[in-house]
Amino acid sequence: MRPNSTKDRFLAGKPIVNGWLSIPSSYAAEVIARQGFHAVTVDVQHGMMGFETAMTMLQAISSTDATPMVRCPSLDEPTIMRLLDAGAYGVICPQIDNADMAARFVAACRYAPEGNRSFGPARGPLYAGPDYFERANHHVLALAMIESQAALDNLDAILATPGLDGIYVGPNDLALSLGMKPGAETGGIVAEAIARIVAATRARGLLAGIFCASSALARQRLAEGFHLVTPGNDANMLGLVCKARIEETLAGQSAPAASATAGY
């Protein structure tokens, strides 16, 4: 079976830079996946795509060296299983607030006897290999999102869930849950919560991931002990590059004199 290179990097102690897709385009997915990201996640929760488009995006990613991953819309087991059948090698599940939810999530990602994933691998044998069924439980990553006060309260129980590979911090929803505004993750109670999460996750030997607003913040998170960082999403990067190109193009240009006949 095709190895999960992201899991292999984690086990080898190497940093993981994860791309994040919100634009519904397999072409954009392919372009981004070929830029050197170790993993690329299709965001089916807040991204602008449905299942069919997400599948074509996973196909595009799986043609590269990047690990194809998804963020599922919610803890809905049939949807999680279908996204795995579509080719996801890892699932990030939002709003995991307690151990029972974590156990349900893990079970949806694992074939029996470790879980209750329904058999119907669809694309699995096509991109992963004929032994997909026998080895998928080992290769597929299950990452629970920690993004609420409830999840913080139940953090140790969530991390103790058998079969859970790690967590992924949603800093903006975490800030909201703690009574702060989005973007408030670099100081105060939100920063303290994030520090607690990464310390507890590393103590369990699990993978710690987090979404970051910039590459500078992503570097900081790696220094703090996170294994996987996402330095922004595709829409944000596209906007920043476009704005920079416009500013560079107009740098040093003076406005042309108005024509005497211009206007009405």
Task: Report the catalytic residues.
Answer: 46
Distance, CA of 197 to CA of 176 (rounded, Å): 16
Distance, CA of 83 to CA of 210 (rounded, Å): 21
Distance, CA of 9 to CA of 186 (rounded, Å): 27
Distance, CA of 105 to CA of 92 (rounded, Å): 10
Please give the torsion angle defined by the CA atoms of residues 155, 157, 161 and 164, in that order, rounded to the nearest 10 degrees: 10
Paired sense of beta strands 141-146 and 90-93, if any: parallel
Q: Which residues pair with 229 in a beta bridge?
A: 17, 210
Helix/strand number for the chain, H first, E second: 13, 8
Q: Which residues pair with 19 in a beta bridge?
A: 40
* Residue 26 CA: distances (Å) to CA of 42, 54, 187, 225: 10, 8, 37, 32
The backbone torsions φ and ψ at residue 96, rounded to the nearest 5 degrees and listed phi first, read: -90, 105
Name the DSSP class of 70. Answer: E
**For residues 64 and 31, is the Cβ–Cβ distance under 8 A?**
no
Distance, CA of 161 to CA of 149 (rounded, Å): 18
Name the DSSP class of 87. Answer: T
Query: For residue 6, how many other CB atoms are within 10 A of its CB?
Result: 28
